[in-house]
Amino acid sequence: MCAAETDTGMTVTPSAYRRLRRATETFRAELVVRLAGEVGLRPAEIARLRPGDVGTYDRDGTDHHFLAVPDEDDGIDRRAYLPPDVEHDLRQFVRANDIEDEERLVPVSPRRVQMLVAETGERAADRTGDERFRSVSSRTLRQFFARRLLAEEGVDPHVVATVGGWGSIERLERFLPDLDRGDVAAAFERTSLVEGADGTDVGDGTAVGTRFDAAFERIRAAADALSTASTRDGIEHRACEHLVDGDPYVVAWIGQQRGDSISVTTAAGAGGAELDGISPDDGAVGEALAADDVRTTEDVRSDSAFAAWRDHADAGGYRAAAVVPVGNGESVDTVLGVGTAAPVTDRERALLSYLGRRLGQAITVVEQRRLLLADTVVELTFESGDPDSFFAGLSGEHDCTVTLDGVVPGEAGALVYFVTLSGAGAEQVLSWATDRAAVDDARLVRDYGDESLLELIVSGSEVATALVEHGATVGEMEATSGTERVVGQVSAETDVRRLVTAVTDAFPDTDLLTKRERDRPAETPTAFRASLRDSLTEKQSSVLQAAFHAGYFEWPRGSTAEELADAIGITSPTLHNHLRRAQQKLLTAFFTDDQRPGDPESPWAED
């Protein structure tokens, strides 16, 4: 089989990639495919590339080639690595076409670059009979670039994130292979950290390798337990209890920023002293919140950044400690603290960072679910003329109106927006959008003549995205001629002042127009929707909403299953699975009184 599908859409294997290259009809098309699949460039970056952007670096007598990847402002975004044979083909193309150093290598729009890749996929499907090639896109090729380096070549994820422009290792997690204890043990056997490898032990006589294995077990158990809790308190309690249920952690606690202090909401483990006097503005906790990174110490007693922990450490019987930011995206107001007898290793620190992100994601899900079921919510209306907010910038650039139809989560923290465009041509806007750093992909769903429905996958700067990252649900958004109006809802317990400050700091030309509490009427349709939403899993709800807004249920269809799956970041079979389960729950809730959504008697009950 030359191609397969995984959770990120169609996965191109090396053999499939070779077939794709052979399907190109011009030297330019093959170069575009190679720049996406072997250098990791986005369509907008390929369209801006110039021969003069290529540079050479000598390391121990060997020449390595790099690309100074230009950004939309003609600055340098990053330096991508250029494999020798790609550099050779690029140089040959420049010579054959007599391209000057400051001329664009591929003088077409980013949209045309996307079309070149899609056309190559169509030819590959026609030649091989493998219909999956028709779903190949520039995003597919960037995924191939990342997965090949990470899973097959074993390149350090930090290096891949840097040269590929992902910004952080976390955004590459979906490309990393799953590891079991055998994989971890084999990896550590090749290091000097395993007991007996170099004759050194940690201070309490426990080998570093043995300690890591214990930490791996505790952190995995804590992460696995998150899905079984339905409240924030339950999530925090389960995480802390699982962390201290065996070596190496003796104390675990979770604290949330409330005003000028950190309030410890959950704690587990030895010690009766309360942890107090912690400020979000200084010390290790403040550093972790500000940098969104783990902070550790080998000795709480001698480290001034952990001064507030000393009495707690004496009572709890630990010496070393770590403080971990708990967040999902840019919203970080919670930390996880752990106390342990021996220093936290670098690899253990990476695992704790992973647990912090999992905790943040789980908390966001239950908080948004609670918001959906709350009787009272706080409605916030923002108005922004900040051109750095994507939709405000789009409407100002094209003097048009963009209205939100729906928004669902995408992959790697992106949001998939379905918007109605009026007052501008769809192709013109799509070409402009794909040249923006904030946009991962864009396509036309429906053309209604004077209006059009667009799908925009936005991972960068946008007011509505900022609200979602801080726990809000966005119900309305309209941008007209450079001014964007967004209406979001948060729970009554939300720190609204902190949310508003975060949004206006990120987008200075933004004002909070209104803040009002609203009672949700206990009408039958509302209760029905709330009950149904509560029975759907997060992914089922997202897939059902995306399919509705993308015109999947219309005739003729506005989107194929493959297009929808690629936008959300799942496979086509997985999409159909979620849709069937969600539709069954919807129909069960509508047609029967005695069999409610989630009833175990349902043929689509969850495993």
* pLDDT at res. 375: 64
pLDDT, position 200: 43
Q: Is the dihedral of CA 35, 113, 134, 420 positive or negative?
A: positive
Q: Is a pLDDT exceeding 90 seen at residue 421?
A: yes
pLDDT digits (tens, 9 = 90+) for 456-470: 988 888 999 888 877
For 176-198, what is the mean pLDDT? 59
Of 50-59, 223-232, 345-354, 387-396, minimum mean pLDDT range: 223-232
For the stretch 468-478, pLDDT in tens is: 877 788 889 99
Classify residue 289 by burial, with Cβ atoms within 10 Å: 0-12, 13-18, 19+.
buried
- The residue with greater pLDDT, 254 or 260, is 254
Per CATH, the number for 3-175 is 1.10.443.10
Instruction: Name which of 74-78, 308-312, 329-333, 478-482 the model is least confident about.
Output: 329-333
The answer to whether domain 521-607 has CATH 1.10.10 is: yes
Residue 178: which pLDDT band, with cuts at 50, 70 and 90?
A: low
Annotate 127-190 with three-state secondary structure.
HHCCHHHHHCCHHHHHHHHHHHHHHHCCCCHHHHHHHHCCCCHHHHHHHCCCCCHHHHHHHHHC
Q: In terms of pLDDT, which residue wins out, 88 or 182?
A: 88
Q: What is the pLDDT of residue 331?
A: 59
What's the whole-number average pLDDT of the chain? 80
Tell me the CATH architecture of domain 190-371.
2-Layer Sandwich (3.30)
Structure confidence at residue 480 as a pLDDT band (50, 70, 90): very high
Question: Which part of the chain has CATH 1.10.10?
Answer: 521-607
Q: What is the pLDDT of residue 202?
A: 41
In whole angstroms, give the CA distance from residue 285 to residue 295. Answer: 8
Pick the more confident residue, 181 or 480: 480
Q: How far apart are CA 436 and CA 59, in angstroms?
A: 34
∠ CA(416), CA(417), CA(419), 5° rounding? 155
- The contacts of residue 594 (CB under 8 Å, 6+ apart) are none
In the chain, the amino acid numbered 168 is S
Tokens of 108: 């077409």
Which ranges in the chain are annotated with CATH 3.30.450.40?
190-371
Burial of 456 (0-12, 13-18, 19+ CB in 10 A): buried
By three-state DSSP, how is residue 507 classified?
Answer: coil
Given pLDDT bands bounded at 50, 70 and 90, which one contains residue 191? low
29: tokens are 């098309």
> pLDDT tens digits for 71-83?
776 667 789 999 9
Ranges in the chain annotated CATH 1.10.443.10? 3-175
pLDDT digits (tens, 9 = 90+) for 525-582: 555 555 566 667 777 877 888 888 888 887 777 777 777 777 777 777 778 878 887 8
